[in-house]
Amino acid sequence: MTPPRLLITRTLPDAVEQRAVATWPTRLNPDDRPLTVAELTAHPVEAILGCAVDRFDANVIQRLPPSVRVLATFSVGVDHIDLGAAKARGLIVTNTPDVLTDATADIAMLLILAACRRAGEGERLVRANQWTGWTPTQLMGIHVAGRRLGIYGMGRIGQALAHRARAFGLAIHYHNRSRLPLDQEQGAIYHPTVESLLAVSDILSLNAPATPATDRLLNAERIALLPRGAVLINTARGALVDDEAVIAALTSGHLAAAGLDVFRGEPALHPGYCTLENAVLLPHLGSATVDTRTAMGMKALDNIDAVLLGRDPPDRVV
Ligand code: 8YV
């Protein structure tokens, strides 16, 4: 009997690829080129280790060879996968929760500080050789301590961000589908509606998954509910915001600044962001540490191993 085969769609950290190759006959992508739909669906493998940049819509899932039993995504987000189509086909889908919580919360905290303290503008000034020297009023930013941080989505990453933000003197408010138990709240103030959260958010951080319900959640009407001069942080998904409305608010000053790690249609983000001095823009770095990306790959392989060896995968989504 031939052993099960694995397709890994993008280049992963060495330790992950070495483990995969040592365990299963594995097709790697050493050029790290995005695979076309034809390439994604061409290989009669039993398992696919894919990434959030691979689109597994209903069409792709239907075209997968019948041999494919498990799709392990190298991400916690599953918005790039049509879960209904996977379920209908009997395709097991797994993700990588927990291991990227700290790294992503770090990037959210980094963006809060960078956006409030105008780090992008300062960096650009120095690099352009235009810094003529210290002045008492140069690049004055927003003082973080004492301000209110509103966290939309108080799951693992939201809670890890709250933990960091408390150390910077921020008061934590949050909205979540359900209120957290008191011991997990740690003094954070629950808002039963997003509108009530927005009204008190000097800094608003989006930490919820992209779903039909959260698509363009932050639109012009809801941005208007934020205090004037609020700061927007997004390390979740670009789909949660209406780009035109965010850009208009950053231009008018209703939003003082934004720190964004994720974009609708990335890497082709809305060009309006790139000319805004008060937007700090990162290329989806949330989980980008060697330790985290290695742990994500190992978790994806744990899930694949479980399915191929006939066990329940630890991180089954459908
Ligand atoms: C990943 C992410 O790095 O896990 C997620 O959902 O957004 C990122 O942290 C990215 O999706 C790579 O697959």
Give the mean model confidence (pLDDT) for residues 7-36.
Answer: 98
Grouping H, G, I as helix, E, B as strand and the rest as coil, residue 234 is strand
Tens of pLDDT, residue by residue over 232-263, are 999 999 999 999 999 999 999 999 999 999 99
Q: Give domain status of residue 200, yes or no.
A: yes
CA 288–ligand 1 middle distance (angstroms): 9
Give the mean model confidence (pLDDT) for residues 123-152.
Answer: 98
Give the mean model confidence (pLDDT) for residues 112-134.
Answer: 98
Q: Which of 107, 105, 80, 110 has its CA nearest to residue 93?
A: 80
Structural domain of residue 229, as residue ranges? 101-281
CATH number at residue 210: 3.40.50.720
The CB density around residue 260, as the number of other CB atoms within 10 Å, is 24
Q: Answer yes or no: is pLDDT of 1 > 80.
A: no
> Taking a C-beta distance cutoff of 8 angstroms, is the pair 73, 97 a contact?
no
Tell me: do 304 and 244 sit in the same domain: no
Give the mean model confidence (pLDDT) for residues 186-192.
Answer: 97
Residue 164 catalytic? no
Q: Is 287 in the pocket of ligand 1 (CB under 6 A)?
A: yes
Q: Give domain status of residue 197, yes or no.
A: yes
Tens of pLDDT, residue by residue over 52-106, are 999 999 999 999 999 999 999 999 999 999 999 999 999 999 999 999 999 999 9
In the chain, how many domains are there? 2
CA 137–ligand 1 middle distance (angstroms): 39
Alpha helix locations (H) across the chain? 14-23, 37-40, 58-63, 83-89, 101-116, 119-127, 156-167, 182-185, 194-199, 220-225, 243-252, 290-308
Q: Give the whole-angstrom CA distance, residue 170 versus residue 57.
A: 40
Tell me: do 210 and 255 sit in the same domain: yes
Strand 203-206 versus strand 148-152 pairing type: parallel
Tell me: do 71 and 106 sit in the same domain: no
Q: Is 107 in the pocket of ligand 1 (CB under 6 A)?
A: no
Q: What does the pLDDT read at residue 187? A: 96
Backbone phi and psi for residue 279, each to the nearest 5 degrees, phi listed first: -110, 125
